[in-house]
Amino acid sequence: MQDYFLSIKSLKVAYEQRGELVTALDSVDLSLSQGQRGVIIGPSGCGKSTLITVLAGLNSHYTGQVLIGGKPPASGGETALILQDFGLLPWKTVWDNVILGLKLRKKTAAEIKTTAETVLEKLGLSSLAKRHPTQLSGGQRQRVAIARALVLAPKLLLMDEPFSSLDALTREELQDFLLELWEETKLTTLLITHNIEEAVLLGQKIFIMSSSPGQIQQEVENRLAGATHLRGELQFLEMCSTLRSFLRGRVHDEASA
Q: Residue 195 contacts by C-beta under 8 Å, 6 or more apart in sequence?
A: 163, 164
Q: Among 51, 14, 17, 87, which Cα is nearest to 216's?
A: 51
Q: What are φ and ψ of residue 64, in 5° steps?
A: 105, -170
For the ranges 177-181, 186-190, 212-216, 250-254, which has the lowest average pLDDT? Answer: 250-254
Host H or E run for residue 198: helix 196-202
Report the predicted TM-score, pTM, of the whole model to 2 decimal places: 0.87
Q: How far apart are CA 188 and CA 76, in angstroms?
A: 17
What are the tens digits of pLDDT across the range 120-130?
998 889 999 99
Q: Give per-residue pLDDT as tens, 59-83.
A: 888 999 999 998 899 765 688 888 7
* Torsion 165-239-178-221 (CA) sign: positive
pLDDT for the residue 45: 83
CATH homologous superfamily for the domain 6-78+155-256:
P-loop containing nucleotide triphosphate hydrolases (3.40.50.300)
Q: Whats the size of the chain, residue-wise?
A: 257
What per-residue confidence (pLDDT) applies to 254? 38
Q: Mind listing the pLDDT tens digit for each residue in 83-138?
A: 777 678 999 999 999 999 889 888 999 999 999 999 999 888 999 999 999 999 88
The tens digit of pLDDT for each residue in 139-170 reads 888 889 989 988 888 899 999 988 887 888 88
Dist CA 192 CA 203 (whole Å): 10
| Residues 11-56 pLDDT 10s | 999 988 888 888 999 999 999 999 999 999 988 888 888 999 999 8
Contact predicate 23/14, CB 8 Å: yes
> Which of 241, 237, 243 is CA-nearest to residue 221?
243
* Start and end residues for every CATH 3.40.50.300 domain found in the chain: 6-78+155-256
148 vs 49: CA distance, rounded Å: 20
Mean pLDDT of 190-201: 93
* pLDDT, greater one: 256 or 75: 75
